[in-house]
Amino acid sequence: MFNLHYRLERSAIGFVLAIIGVASIGGLIEIAPLFTIDETVEKAPDMRVYTPLEVAGRNIYMREGCYACHSQMIRTLRDEVERYGPYSLAVESKYDHPMLWGSKRTGPDLARVGGKYSNDWHVAHLTNPRDVVAESNMPAYRWLSSKQLKTGDLGEHLAALRAVGVPYTDEMVSNASSDAIGQANPDTDLAAGVTTRYGDKTDVSLFDGNQGAVTEMDALVAYLQILGHLTDAAHQSTQNEVE
Ligand code: HEC
């Protein structure tokens, strides 16, 4: 062994090749799982894309740095599954660009928060968390209710996501602005287009409680309510059952 090293050091090329060989082991370990990406990411035929309003909400979530306190990934550990629900599957983040798994939990994981509370609860909580959870140390985001959502550029956001692989159709891209307004205004002509394009199960609601102008609160609540509901794959997986 010692002799081998001694001889290697005397041959410059051999030594360089040996260094490259050893240094690439770590790289290979990182890259190898990508070769099996097709098997790693589960199939979920029912997986739908985010609506323009949800994309806008996701952008606000990033802008406000919610990910600094909230993760969106339930680990395969029993305590996590019992607290939050079925553990996160790779396919559930398939359309997340960038992913928001997070690395810190000052507040709870949000991967399955969709449907856990009413829209009104979310509005009250974001307006002042202490009103609904007395001991909360989450900041208040009350301006979201009075800030009108910028919907004009949502088509461009969808087109950008399509460029990285999210299957938005031309029709979804060209109707993005009106679909965002429609999803927050049920009982209007624009609302029908949203369910036609994104599926009957799409939540069309007065997210912030008010008809008319679409606010940033509408967008953020719509996004929070879809978390964990883009596909049912995690609930169907029998491996996910806690015995
Ligand atoms: C400084 C850390 C912090 C930041 C930043 C933060 N939160 Fe929280 N969040 C918390 C804490 C702590 C709780 C638990 C207490 C509570 O419910 O208010 C919480 C709870 C929540 C809950 C309820 C989760 C549940 O299952 O009960 C939601 C939803 C939520 N936050 C959304 C958000 C959103 C959206 C943002 C960004 C606009 C955000 N949070 C920013 C700390 C934070």
Residue 66 CB–ligand 1 contact under 6 Å: yes
Nearest to 152 by CA among 170, 169, 175: 175
Residue 85 one-letter amino acid? G
- As to burial, measured by CB atoms within 10 angstroms (0-12 exposed, 13-18 middle, 19+ buried), residue 217 is buried
Tell me the CATH class for 52-240: mainly alpha
Q: What is the pLDDT along the chain (243 residues), one digit of tens a residue?
A: 678 888 888 899 999 999 999 999 999 999 988 888 888 888 898 999 999 999 999 999 999 999 999 999 999 999 999 999 999 999 999 999 999 999 999 999 999 999 999 999 999 999 999 999 999 999 999 999 999 999 999 999 999 999 999 999 999 999 999 999 999 999 899 999 999 999 999 999 999 999 889 999 999 999 999 999 999 999 886 554 544
Under 8 Å between Cβ of 221 and 207: yes
- Centre of ligand 1 from the C-alpha of residue 146, in Å: 20
Structure token pair of residue 187: 């009982």
Candidates 69, 113, 122, 137: which one to mutate for ligand 1, based on the most atoms within 8 Å of Cβ?
69
User: Is any atom of ligand 1 closer than 6 Å to the C-beta of 113?
Assistant: yes
At residue 70's C-alpha, the angle toward residues 231 and 236, to 5°, is 20
DSSP string, 96-127: -SS----S--SS---TT-TTTS-HHHHHHHHH
106 lines ligand 1 (CB under 6 A): yes
Q: Is 139 in the pocket of ligand 1 (CB under 6 A)?
A: yes
Q: For residues 71 and 101, is the Cβ–Cβ distance under 8 A? A: yes
Contact by Cβ (8 Å): 95, 172: no
Which 8-state DSSP code applies to residue 209?
A: S
Distance from the alpha carbon of residue 151 to the mean position of ligand 1, in angstroms:
25
Instruction: Provide the H-helix boundaries in the chain.
Output: 2-10, 12-35, 37-40, 52-63, 78-84, 119-127, 154-163, 170-174, 176-183, 189-198, 216-226, 233-236
pLDDT of residue 243: 44
Rounded CA gap, 78 and 86, in Å?
10
Record the pTM. 0.89
* pLDDT number for residue 168: 97
Backbone φ, ψ for residue 162 (5° rounding): -65, -35
For ligand 1, atom 36, which residue shows the shortest CA distance? 66
For ligand 1, say whether the CB of 136 is within 6 Å of any of its atoms.
yes
At residue 111's C-alpha, the angle toward residues 83 and 119, to 5°, is 95
Instruction: List, by residue range, all CATH 1.10.760.10 domains of the chain.
Output: 52-240
* Number of residues that make up the chain: 243
DSSP 222-234: HHHHHTT-S-SHH
